[in-house]
Structure 1
Amino acid sequence: MNLAYRHLLPADFAADSRVWIYQSSRLFSMSEALQIEDLLNHFTTNWKSHGTPVKGFGTLFFGQFIILMADENATGVSGCSTDSSVRLIKEIEQLYKVAMFDRQNLAFVVKDKVQLLPLGQLQYAADNNFVQANTLYFNNLVQTKQELEDSWLIPVTESWLAKRIKPQNA
């Protein structure tokens, strides 16, 4: 699995551009991914805040994570424009029968694949070496382009999960 993604982010967006990450409850098929990319491109091309175009970006990473980004140095994102992005994600949920808002489902890179784990099973996974100190975790709480570049895909020990579990290989 190629984990390089930074070069796919728009270079002309400010480091403090706002980011929203939506994790799917399953991997999208290739045809679904292409359709979702079309939906995201259409949305970001027409994204507006109080009638002013938003400098937006949207893509699907690793077949499972929808990333939306708005460069607020160009146009501020209002509540209404944020609501429109949430409507898009809800539409994707319905179209593809997936959950995109479940923050209790954690994503890790295990055996070169994205693996999901319910938060309630985290300690069990750590106790059984499914999740270790150096296991890569998708920190979907990042809020800016800079954080997306530096802190999205990080070892468990560098995440908020480190306080929740005691990995055996720490």
Structure 2
Amino acid sequence: MTANYREQIPAGFAPDSRVWVYQSSRLLMLSEALHVEDLLNNFIANWNSHGAPVKGYGNLFFGQFIVLMADERATGVSGCSTDSSVRLIKQIEELFKVNMFDRQMLAFMVKDKVQMLPLPQLQYAIDNNFLSADTLYFNNLVQTKEELENNWLIPIKESWLAKRVTLGV
């Protein structure tokens, strides 16, 4: 399940295409996920920057992560076009009563399921063997297509979290 997400990233985008990852506070139900995908498709079809169409991509991964991508080699993304994407995410928050902007909530892949954990509980989870240095972490700080492909789902020991906790070896 974990590696499959790479297959859904379009090949026709430059490696330095800008990426934004928004993490939902909960797994979306199937009906909600289908609605989100419709909203994303509609947004991408109409995404503009100063009147020029943005070469964009949007998808829902693992039923919980919205990934937006813009290939700026085609059209640069301006503040207004970025604002329009944020409005879309806020609309999704309101529609489905989820939080998409909580950067203190971390996501991990545990037994092929996305598990959420507040940042202040990370050390406790490691100390009690709920998570280990090799547990896969969703690094939502990725900023490019290349980072999304190679550094989005990485072991805790290879992420910025390794500096925040004491990892058992």
- TM bucket by the smaller chain? over 0.9
After TM superposition, list the pairs within 5 Å mapping 1:156-167 onto structure 2: 156-167=156-167
Shift of 1:2: 4.6
Q: CA RMSD in A?
A: 0.8
Q: Distance in 2 between matches of 1:155 and 1:47?
A: 34
User: Equivalent residue of 2:4, what SS?
Assistant: coil
- SS of the aligned residue for 1:68 comes to strand
* Higher mean C-alpha deviation, range 97-106 or range 159-168: 159-168
C-alpha distance in structure 2 between counterparts of 1:112 and 1:82, whole Å: 32
Aligned position for 1:29: 29
* TM alignment of 1:104-143, pairs within 5 A: 104-143=104-143
- Residue by residue over 1:103-134, the C-alpha shift from the partner in whole angstroms, topping out at 9 and shown as x without a partner, is 00000011221000000101101100111010
1:49 is matched with: 49
Q: Verify: 1:93 aligned to 2:93, yes or no.
A: yes
| 2:153 is equivalent to residue 153 of structure 1 | yes
Percent of residue pairs identical = 73
1:72 matched to which residue of 2? 72
Which structure 1 residue ranges, 4+ long, deviate > 4 Å from structure 2? none
Question: Counterparts of 1:3 and 1:76 in 2: how far apart (Å)?
Answer: 30
What secondary structure sits across from 2:98 in the alignment?
A: coil
Q: Does 2:136 align with 1:103? A: no
Q: Please, what TM-score do these two structures have when normalized by structure 2?
A: 0.98
- C-alpha distance after superposition, 1:36-95 (max 9, x if no partner): 000000000000000000000000000000000000000000000000000000000000
Secondary structure in structure 1 of the residue aligned to 2:22: strand
How many residues are matched? Answer: 169
Q: Partners in 2 of 1:111 and 1:11 — Cα distance?
A: 29
Which blocks of at least 5 consecutive residues in structure 1 are unaligned?
none
